Structures are given as C-alpha cells and as structure tokens.
Amino acid sequence: MHWSRRTPCSSLADKKPGNANTLAARLARLGLRSEADFVLHLPLRYEDETRITELVDARPGVAAQFEVDVIDSEIAYRPRRQLLARVRDGRGALLLRFLNFYPSQQKVLQPGARLRIFGELHEGYLGPEIIHPRFHLMREGEPLPDRLTPVYPTTAGLGQATLRRLIDKALNSVDLADTLPMALRETLRLPEFAAAIHYLHRPPPEVTQAALEARDHPAWRRVQFDELLAQQISLRRAYAARRARGAPPLVGTAKLTQALLASLPFRLTRAQQRAWREIAVDLGQPHPMQRLLQGDVGSGKTVVAALAMLHAVEAGYQAALMAPTEILAEQHNRKIAAWLAPLGLDAVWLTGSLKKREKEVAIARVGAGDTAIASGTHALIEDKVEFARLGLAIVDEQHRFGVRQRLALKEKGQFAHQLAMSATPIPRTLAMSYYADLDVSVLDELPPGRTPVTTKLVAESRRDQVVARVHQACRGGGQAYWVCPLIEENGVSAEADASEARVKRSGRSRNAVLQLKTAEETYARLVADLPDLRIGLVHGRLKAAEKAAVMSAFVANEIQVLVATTVIEVGVDVPNASLMVIEHAERFGLAQLHQLRGRVGRGTAQSACILLYAQPLGELARARLKVIFESTDGFEIAREDLRLRGPGEFIGARQSGLPLLRYADLDDEALVEQARAVAEEMLRDAPELATAHLQRWLGGREELLKA
Ligand code: ADP
Ligand code: MG
C-alpha cells in the first residue's frame, strides 16, 4: 500500500527474507520491517548503568553495575566445564561464573584487566558471585552513560545490543514530527511525540523506573493515546471508504417478506421489527451495507436474516447465508427450506455433507443465477463458487470465523451488502474500537413466552442424581443435551479453537481427540445407565452426513438424549430440548457456557442447565461458574468475561489475526473516548495529519484491522 513512504532499513534490504535465520527474518518476527517500526518498538524495562555500585553495597537480587579489577581467571572442570574469574574493587571481592563462554571472553579476563560489569549478585558456594554478568574492558577515562539502558522485547538469536543499535539509528533518521496539533496536545495534556519517544527509549537516570515500567508516565500515555488514535482513524477511514464504494440499491416489493411474515406462527418482537427496518433501509442504499446484528442467544436473529434475504430476492438479486459449523448450516437449510416452500422458492445448499456431484450442481446453479438463495458453510466462499449476481451476504455467528474466511467473504462480496450476526455481546469499549467501522442493530429483547432457564451447580460426585433427572425429563416427553468437556492442557481454554473449520485445518488436534474420547465414554456410560432411552452421539469427527443425520433425529425426537462435544455450541435450535447437562463445566469459558446454555429455554417448557463440576475448583473456574450461575444476561456475562480474561483473549484476537494493541489498554474507556473524538476532528480538519499518523502506526497492516 504505502510502502514507498516507508524507508526500508538499508542494512537489511539485501538479506534474503525467506531464510528464517537472517537478521531481517528475526526482526520481522518482532514486526520490525521499516525504520519507522523500530521507533515504536519500546522497552519492556530498563537497567541502570549510569552509576557504579561498590561491591560492599551490592544487594542480592538487585541488578547493578560495578567497576572491578580481575585478580585471576581459570577454566574449572567440576561439576562441568566453566570459566571462573575472581575480581575485586576497592572494598570487596566477587566471583564471576560463565557456564558458556567464548575464548575471546576468556582472553579479556586477564589478571589486572579493568572491567565494567553488570548483573545480579547472589550468594554462591564460594561467596558472592554473579553468573553470566554482562562485561566489557574499560577504556581509559570511559564516561558513564547518562541514560538508563533499555531492555527490548526480542526473539531468539537477536541480542539487545543489535536491537539498541538499530533503534538508535532509527531514532536519528526517522521523522518524528508530531501528528497531533499543538493545541490538541495542550488540551489533552500530552507531551510531544518526539520527546515522549526519546524519553521512553533513553530515560534520564533520575526518573523512577517503577513508574516507567508500570507504563504510568505521561510519555507512555502519549504512546497509548497515539495507538488508540491510529486504530480509530483506520476504522473511520474504512467506514468512509465503504460508503464511497458502490453497491446495487436493493429495492424490495415486500411481496415475499410479507408472505413469510404471514406464514410464521409468531409475530416479530419490537426489537426484530426495528432491526429489520434498519437493515431494509441500508439495503436500499447505493453503497454496501456493513451491519452487525447483535442479539443474545435465542433472540431470533435467523428470521431477520431470512427477511433480508427475501428482500434481496425481491430486488432481483441473490443472497447467501453462511454458518461457521456444518451442524448450524444444516439447520439453516432445514429452516429456510420450510420457510421458502410456501413461497414457491427453493434454495441451494453448500455444505460438507453434499456428494461431489451434488456440490457441482449447486455451484453451477449459483453461477447461472437461477437460484436466488444459497445457504451453507464457508464452502460458499471457496474460489470455485461464483455468484451470478450476489446482492447480500450474511454471516451467522460471525465471531466464529477466522480472519482469512472473513477476508475471503469480503472479496467475494466486494459489491454486495453484508450482514454479520453475532450472539457474543460486545462490551462498549470493544465496540468503540474493534467494531467502530460497522453499523450495529441490537435485538435487546427475547421473544415472549420464554421461561428463564434455571441454572444449577452440581458436584461431579452427585452425577447419579443428574442422570435420574435426565431420565425423568425424557420420560415426560422432553429432550436433553449432555455436553462433554473440553480438555485443556496447561489450563488455557481452547475455546476459540472449537470451531470445526479450525479443528479441521489443524488436523488431528489433540484437544479434539481427547474430547472425542470423553464423549464416547460418556455416551457408553449413559447408554448403560439409561437403557430405556434413545441416546445419540455427535462430535466433530463424524462425517458431515452422519452429523446431519444425528441432528435431524434429535430434531424429530427420535433421539432423546444427545451426547455432544462443543460442536453444538452455536446456533443449534431444538425447542423441545429443555435440559442441558454440561460435564466438567469448570473447563469451559464463560462465553461458551452462555452459548451452550442458550440451546435450552427455547420452547415453552421450564428449562434447566446443570453444570457438573469436579473439585477442587481453581480460582478462575470458581469465578466463571459464579458469573454463569448468577446471570443470564449475555451483556453482563460478556462484561465479566472481559474483566476476567482481558480484551485480547476476549475478542479472540490472536485467533482472528487482529493486531492487538501493544501499549494501550482497552479498559481505559476515557482514553478510548478521547481518541475517538480526536480521530473525528482530525479527519475533518487535518486529514493529512491523520494520514501521517496512520502511516506511522499501522504502516501496511491496516487490512488486517478491517477484516
Ligand atoms: P438466535 O438469535 O439465537 O439465532 P434463533 O433465530 O435461532 O435465535 O431463534 C430462536 C427461536 O425463537 C427459534 O425457534 C425461532 O423460530 C423462535 N423465534 C424467533 N423469533 C420469534 C418471535 N418473535 N416470537 C416467538 N418465537 C420466535
Ligand atoms: Mg442463531
């Protein structure tokens, strides 16, 4: 994009970037590609080499600098080969120990040599020692540095000295001109950019390191503000660019949408009506809609999507609905078929359960334009699929798609209107930043007649009672889900990996395998415990057609208890199922528990969600279970989730490829607000400064941010 404006590092330009061992490759791993990037690579902490400490004043565990003379040095062989040097200053002595060393280092440590050393002293077997001190031979009259020494985030094979040298060079050559007008800086009480940057890379010794390292200093505040500002500018620009692009205005006749509404056994809620109106208005515009329809689980997003698709069809265009899992796509297909049949319309399916030949026919029909509605998984955005005249692309459970799929859809739907749907409520600060380029409709009301789901926490030791409860519910005509745990390794929730698409891509993910094993065991155990019930099993490793068969048997109440892995987490809608058991609930993330619980309470029967947990509970697990027990409000749960996990984890940014904020904190609502206001002001009054600012912070990486 704007590469021409960024000076490539001349010293790196000639190295082969393909080889992972070149300096350039190592730097690239840190995101350091141009000199401008170096300037924004800020220290993690500092070391104080501006002072000399006397050995007698050294405190164990505190890093300090000393000036010493070498008494003698030798290579010892016990317990292993190592280099030992005895040194002293005027009032004390010390042992230096090197477990790895070069002959050149040994050479420097000649008796009588004068050294500056830096390191942490501790009490060794032979008295005070420093292991692997940094040291150099002192030059005659060598001055002490007058700045703290920065320690940068780095990667294997890239030393601090190299980084410092490259960063110093960049600081001297990169244009650090301020992108914030002085008046603004003064109102916001932020220091100048150049001053803040120099300060953070090379702070004077009199500052308290603690404040700097806690990032609680005006210079850090400036950097954090700038980073948030870049994010805001980028998102607002994306929004403006989209509005400048053309899309076919979809003008409906209301014939099909009215017919659908008339055929439904319910009336739209007020929230659904409002969202549908907002979407219809957008669809009529000559620029692409990019709207997020947010609504808690069970709020009825699917029917709104169906109305939008029919509107596109009325206008003579095609519409596509994409789901993140095959199970959900199959369910959409069933629903849509039932809705379309009375209207004399049919649709095309594209999912993994299709045979090769069927798939080809489907693709051909979409390409010929003789079918207006297509529904399926991400198979819909594969290269082979060419829509004749796509007017609207809808993505259900949008947060479950990976960044690549979102980009692919964007490409495909370049000139189409887009609607994303999500049941993961986004807390305000995240909405203001990561989703600022979307318009949002919210379904803030559930359809009437739902009885709230009761949530029970039950210790694993009382499993028998839970089995009895399942028995009773099913004998009474109800149905139940029994969800098996996600196996976690080293305590990190694999939640964001649960999407089928991703599990498949990573091949036989260990998690999926372990999860499968427990699901099969649980299934066998329940079959033995409940011989008079019809029990089914569904998991991600079944073939798509097998999964579809199990799910339709469950929908038809031919299966009474469905043992499942997290493949049923999103979107599945079987109103007759009124009981959900989640085994090892302590291993699930909050968003996931909320989604799973949302599978019940969809009919009129009183529903319950039983969270089986194993003791002892860790602190975080306990906190999560408390939240899910106390609240059924998706927004509140999301807020708590954000608090417990932090924004990076919350948004699944690592998985989705969104660049995380490096320095700023999204919890800092006041600063996010300020950045948003300033972004608007700058784009209006000083667009060239906004461009320069964006360039400095995002360089060529803006595309990712917008995916
Ligand atoms: P979600 O927002 O979680 O995707 P769904 O679209 O699956 O929710 O809808 C949940 C259930 O509520 C479905 O069975 C759907 O038919 C039903 N539903 C949707 N809108 C209404 C309404 N206005 N009144 C009654 N039931 C509704
Ligand atoms: Mg849904």
CATH number of the structural domain spanning residue 105: 2.40.50.140
Distance CA 185, CA 176 (A): 15
Q: How many CB atoms lie within 10 A of CB 305?
A: 25
In a domain, 637, yes or no: no
Tokens of 666: 């999204």
Centroid of ligand 2 to alpha carbon of 444 (angstroms):
15
Could you tell me the two tokens for 190?
């932020």
Report how far residue 520's alpha carbon sits from residue 162's, in angstroms, rounded to the nearest whole number. Answer: 54
* Top mutation candidate among 261, 266, 569 for ligand 1, by most atoms within 8 Å of CB: 266
- Whole-number Å distance between alpha carbons of 291 and 279: 8
Pairing of strands 122-124, 92-98: unpaired
Ligand 2 is an ion; its neighbours by CB within 5 Å are 571
- Same domain assignment for residues 165 and 314: no
Closest atom of ligand 1 to CA, residue 304: 6
Which of the listed residues 261, 269, 301, 303 should we mutate to test ligand 1's pocket, taking the one with most ligand atoms within 8 A of CB? 303
Choose among 394, 410, 400: nearest CA to 501. Answer: 400
**601 Cα to the center of ligand 2, angstroms:** 14
The number of angstroms, rounded, from the C-alpha of 516 to the middle of its chain's C-alpha atoms is: 25
Over residues 507-530, the mean pLDDT reads 74
- Please give the residue that has the higher pLDDT: either 289 or 405: 289
CA of 332 to the centre of ligand 1 (A): 12
What percentage of the chain reaches a pLDDT higher than 70? 87
Percent of the chain with pLDDT strictly greater than 90 = 55
Is the backbone of residue 652 left (phi > 0), alpha (psi -120 to 50) or beta? Answer: left
- pLDDT of residue 295 exceeding 50, the answer is yes
- Domain-located, residue 38: yes
Ligand 1 site residues (CB inside 6 A) read 266-269, 272, 295, 297-303, 423, 447, 571, 573, 575, 602
Q: How many CA atoms lie within 13 A of 121 on its CB side?
A: 21
Dihedral sign (CA 195, 198, 201, 206):
negative
Residues 167 and 28 in one domain: yes
For residue 514, what pLDDT is reported? 56
| pLDDT tens-place string over residues 383-416 | 788 999 999 999 998 877 766 776 677 677 667 8
Nearest to 68 by CA among 24, 22, 118: 118
By mean pLDDT, which of 272-276, 585-589, 608-612 is the weakest? 585-589
- Strand duo 290-295 + 417-422: pairing: parallel
Dist. CA 580–CA 54, nearest whole Å: 68
- Structural domains counted in the chain: 4
3 state DSSP class of 553? helix
Q: What are phi and psi of 321, to 5 degrees?
A: -125, 125
Range 126-132 average pLDDT: 91
Q: What does the alpha-carbon distance between residue 310 and residue 252 come to, in Å, rounded to a whole number?
A: 8
What pLDDT was estimated at residue 346?
85
Of 261-275, 359-373, 430-444, 592-606, least confident by mean pLDDT is 430-444
| pTM score of the predicted model | 0.72
- Any idea what the CATH number is for the domain that residue 571 is in? 3.40.50.300
476 contacts: CB under 8 Å, gap ≥ 6: none
Cα separation of 329 and 349, whole Å? Answer: 9
Q: Are residues 203 and 268 in the same domain?
A: no
The torsion angles phi and psi of 609, rounded to 5 degrees, stand at: -125, 120
The domain boundary residue, chosen from 443, 465, 484:
443
For atom 23 of ligand 1, which residue has the closest CA? 268
Element (H, E) at 627: helix 619-630
Q: Which of 576, 607, 631 is the last residue of a domain?
A: 631
Provide mean pLDDT across the span 28-49: 90
**447 Cα to the center of ligand 1, angstroms:** 7
Note the pLDDT of residue 516. 58
Q: Looking at 30-34, 276-280, 459-463, which range is the least confident one?
A: 30-34
Among 443, 475, 510, the domain boundary falls at: 443
| Ligand that lies nearest to the alpha carbon of residue 305, given by its number in the listed order | 1
pLDDT at 2: 32
Q: Mean of the pLDDT values across residues 556-576? A: 90
Residue 476 and residue 584 in one domain: yes
Model pLDDT, residue 440: 87
- How many Cα neighbours within 13 Å face the side chain of 567? 32
| Separation between Cα atoms, residue 495 and residue 707, nearest integer Å | 21
Q: Which of 166-170, 198-202, 540-544 has the lowest mean pLDDT?
A: 540-544
- Residues 392, 406: one domain? yes
Whether the pLDDT of residue 504 is over 70: the answer is no
Atom of ligand 1 at shortest range from CA of 305: 6
- Judged by DSSP in three states, 91 sits in coil
Average predicted confidence (pLDDT) for the chain: 85
What are the residue ranges of helices labelled H in 246-402?
Answer: 255-263, 270-283, 301-314, 326-340, 356-368
Q: How far is the CA of 657 from the centre of ligand 2 (A)?
A: 24
Q: Is residue 118 part of a domain?
A: yes
Identify which ligand lies nearest to the alpha carbon of 260: 1
Residue 556 CA: distances (Å) to CA of 89, 519, 550, 559, 696: 86, 22, 10, 8, 58
| Residue 204 CB partners (closer than 8 Å, separation 6+) | 146, 147, 148
Asked whether residue 570 is assigned to any structural domain, the reply reads yes
Could you tell me which of 224, 233, 218, 229 has the C-alpha nearest to residue 664?
A: 224
Residue 584 in any domain: the answer is yes
427 and 302 share a domain? Answer: yes
Q: Report in angstroms the alpha-carbon separations of 381 from 291, 327, 329, 413, 532.
A: 19, 18, 14, 9, 44
Instruction: Choose the residue to mutate in 260, 296, 299 for probing ligand 1, maximizing ligand atoms within 8 Å of C-beta.
Output: 299
Q: Which atom of ligand 1 is nearest to the CA of 335?
A: 16
CB atoms within 10 A of CB 98: 20
Q: How far apart are CA 168 and CA 571, in angstroms?
A: 53
Q: How far is the CA of 574 from the centre of ligand 1 (A)?
A: 11
What's the pLDDT score for residue 314? 96
Separation of alpha carbons 279 and 433, rounded Å: 22
Residue at 336 is within a domain: yes
Q: Is residue 517 part of a domain?
A: yes
Average pLDDT, integer, range 292-318? 94
Q: Give me the half-sphere count of Cα atoms (radius 13 Å) on the Cβ side of residue 274.
A: 12
Ligand 1: which residue has its CA nearest to atom 10?
298
Q: Rounded to the nearest 5°, which phi and psi values hold at 168?
A: -55, -45
Q: 653-662 pLDDT, tens per residue?
A: 434 444 567 8
Same domain, 483 and 623: yes
User: Based on the domain organization, do 438 and 457 belong to the same domain?
Assistant: no
Does one domain contain both 344 and 202?
no
Q: What is the mean pLDDT of residues 263-286?
A: 96
Per-residue pLDDT, 656: 40
Q: Which residue range(s) make up the domain with 297?
A: 255-443
Residues 55 and 41 both lie in one domain: no
Nearest-atom index, ligand 1, CA of 302: 6
Task: Give domain status of residue 482, yes or no.
Answer: yes
Write the single-letter amino acid at 390.
L
Atom of ligand 1 nearest to the CA of 269: 23
Residue 17 pLDDT: 47
**Rounded to the nearest whole angstrom, what is the distance from the C-alpha of residue 439 to the centroid of ligand 1?**
22
Q: State in Å: Cα 292 to ligand 2 middle.
A: 13
In degrees, rounded to 5, the angle at the alpha carbon of residue 136 between the alpha carbons of residues 133 and 137 is: 135
For residue 88, which phi and psi values (nearest 5 degrees)?
A: -150, 155
Ligand located closest to 328 CA: 2
Whether the pLDDT of residue 704 is over 90: the answer is no
Q: Report pLDDT for 641.
A: 84
Residues 287 and 405 grouped into a single domain: yes
pLDDT at 450: 80
Ligand 1 centre to CA of 305 (Å) is 11
**How many Å apart are CA 289 and CA 396, to the nearest integer?**
16
Instruction: Tell me, yes or no, whether 342 and 488 share the same domain.
Output: no
